Structure 1
């Protein structure tokens, strides 16, 4: 159902007031009119009128007053409101090289359904589009939702993207085109707003959101602040304009998301986080990630016979040792695995020192599926990072979001897009606005 532009063509000022009220309502389970008056500085009559507008548009619902819930006992009972969280939904997709994940959330970012599927990395672009579309359909079906229930979708891809969601075309190479086979064209005909973004950038958006827990947001869920092109004002309490950090997706290849003074840095063509510069760094030599390097070195060690058969590094497929298994074995004290992790730590420390030195960041966050297992690696990396950094070294930490980091960032971006034109974006659930979520 299309969302009307207003019951009585509200002025620009009224729209701005509505956006401000909605911004506060988006981040909490319930808010009173008195809260909104204090937060916005608007008069009581303006707040009540704006709330009525938002209810009419399907963005908010009216709840039982504070006295009836036992929260208010004297004077006039406070009117209570809440975001109509089920009035619309968004989809976040991690369209990785080897695995696809789609999640469907409500307007508060709470996950209603999740679908995962492995994919042949050597398949065609048409195959990838078809499988991604089917995966999103599966997630929507699991949530008992249809296309008309969705406001926006964000797709994370292992490729740089420009502002329109396109990836560069390189002569003699089609990897980026394969990883980003026009997802905008795939989903826009379904009536959704579509954002296609680099997966490491989305990981950075997710990490910025996770740092706002103290400000009333969910760790790993989409909440109230931020905009569609930046990491929001996460961590502004750290001092200055906001935090500066790098999020590294370091499984098969290194991809980086840069947040500088609280804002996502994308570059002129969206390629700020491409790590080919590591090819030029002595002692690093490539953009291969932690997972790929550990697998290659474990395979070489087994071929040379320098790993005893009793070591967990020996277990698993002969041609593709598991990186997570090697990291876990090192954490458990296996000598062979610890030697491998020690070698990787020096290499990783050199790469982190280059990034930290160029960008002067506070923190480097290891993210992705390997994050839960890299505690020992980061412990061994810290001395190298300090050695290679001429001033105070950035802190190296592991993400707490695991393999959900890209879909979390994708949901953040989709919800930020939905929050923007609060009174103009079509809202499927407007007809159910009187039903509390």
Structure 2
């Protein structure tokens, strides 16, 4: 990295920002490191590293720590090497998942470590005010679990079923009563000091998969459960489209996605179920594992329904990977091989098909990632008018 003297005060400010970001990038998410190691990694001189680290320490981004010399707590002879770590606890982000049956909230520090969480069961028939009240209670429960006040939150994101416009307004939602035309983030204005970004749940699940699951530069994530939806990752980036409606292939009624889950569940009516426990789809999947002919036929039909919509998208974006997630991810052993066969029969290039391992956490994790990305964008801005201070990065 060059350290040549800039020709203007503005260039000096820009160079200082670049040096600060270089050091933060080396330390963020890592253990404390000595100055010499930070200097070697960034390519900055030891003196520049020292000066910048001290500035970042003063601003609350770094903290100097005791040297670990392997002496069991005894200080080594002579002056120990100065070490710094990133203060991940300086700020926090929130990820919210507003579903039909539950609301889930994660709280994480700036190193993406989850420090608080809370989950609350809700009813599919809850109206918008009732569900939003549950969202607020869940959020406050997660913050209490983390031992934090709302003022500690720098950014937040919320996932919800339906088409979400660029301004956070839900323009269509088949599963959440009363949410069409609603901007659910506004309900949290009195609770959180930061803006809450709202996004489609399948999109956030795709973002989480790209982050902590099956990684691919181009991917189709299928959210399979009470409904079918998709999230798209293209070129390593979440693709939402001009109005947030990318991937809503189920709008074509001819594909059959709108009632595929209902037709699958209807098969349970003909199954022997002495206990009556578990939802209908789960019973069908279990019966298929037990080689029940009707259940096997229903699973085959459901996989074909999924493939009908996914094929159209595979032929459009030619992805490396298709991931099956959502509430039916527990049936990946049945659905993934069938989906792979269906795609191989129709696609010019058959992508890899995998089941998600993120379970019910996918949407909340994706919301957490989106909130962290918001903080990252502020932190890494090279705008000399935005100082690298906590107040500026919070964006309050």
Higher RCO (C-alpha under 8 Å, 6+ residues apart): 1
Give yes or no for contact 1:254–1:275 (8 Å, CA) kept in 2: no
Q: Which residue of 2 aligns with 1:341?
A: 299
Shift of 1:79: 3.4
Q: Which residue of 1 aligns with 2:235?
A: 261
- In structure 2, the CA distance between the partners of 1:169 and 1:260, relative to structure 1 (3 Å rule), is closer
Matches of 1:206 and 1:411 in 2, distance apart?
A: 8
1:148-192 deviation digits (Å, cap 9, x = unpaired)? 22222111111222333223269xx89586178423322344312
Q: For 1:40-55, list aligned pairs within 5 A.
A: 40-55=42-57
- In structure 2, the CA distance between the partners of 1:31 and 1:355, relative to structure 1 (3 Å rule), is farther
Q: Which residue of 2 aligns with 1:316?
A: 276
SS of match in other structure, 1:420: helix
Give the TM-score, by structure 2 length: 0.83
SS of match in other structure, 1:11: helix
Matches of 1:400 and 1:200 in 2, distance apart?
A: 15
- Aligned partner (choices 339, 347, 355) of residue 398 of structure 1: 355
Q: Which residue of 2 aligns with 1:30?
A: 32
Give yes or no for contact 1:92–1:102 (8 Å, CA) kept in 2: yes
Shift of 1:77: 5.7
SS of match in other structure, 2:168: coil
Shift of 1:315: 5.3
- Aligned partner (choices 76, 79, 88) of residue 85 of structure 1: 88
SS of match in other structure, 1:374: helix
Matches of 1:106 and 1:123 in 2, distance apart?
A: 32
Aligned length: 372
Q: Which residue of 2 aligns with 1:163?
A: 166
Shift of 1:280: 3.0
- In structure 2, the CA distance between the partners of 1:199 and 1:29, relative to structure 1 (3 Å rule), is farther
Matches of 1:295 and 1:412 in 2, distance apart?
A: 33
Q: Which residue of 2 aligns with 1:298?
A: 268
Q: Which moved more, 1:127-136 or 1:56-65?
A: 56-65
Give yes or no for contact 2:100–2:176 (8 Å, CA) kept in 1: no
- In structure 2, the CA distance between the partners of 1:49 and 1:129, relative to structure 1 (3 Å rule), is same
- In structure 2, the CA distance between the partners of 1:341 and 1:66, relative to structure 1 (3 Å rule), is same
Matched, 1:97 2:100: yes
SS of match in other structure, 1:287: helix
Q: Which residue of 2 aligns with 1:420?
A: 377
SS of match in other structure, 1:90: strand
Matches of 1:253 and 1:80 in 2, distance apart?
A: 51
Shift of 1:245: 0.4
Structure 2: gaps of 5 or more residues: 1-9, 380-387
Q: For 1:71-220, list aligned pairs within 5 A.
A: 78-168=81-171, 178=179, 181-189=182-190, 190-211=192-213
SS of match in other structure, 2:110: coil
Matches of 2:328 and 2:83 in 1, distance apart?
A: 44
1:77-133 deviation digits (Å, cap 9, x = unpaired)? 653322212222221110112221112222222222222122233332222221211
1:16-72 deviation digits (Å, cap 9, x = unpaired)? 3222322332232333434433443322222222222222222222222354579xx
Q: Which residue of 2 aligns with 1:218?
A: none
Matches of 1:122 and 1:406 in 2, distance apart?
A: 21
Give yes or no for contact 1:330–1:337 (8 Å, CA) kept in 2: yes
Shift of 1:276: 2.8
Give yes or no for contact 1:125–1:179 (8 Å, CA) kept in 2: no
Give the TM-score, by structure 1 length: 0.76
SS of match in other structure, 2:357: coil
SS of match in other structure, 1:164: coil
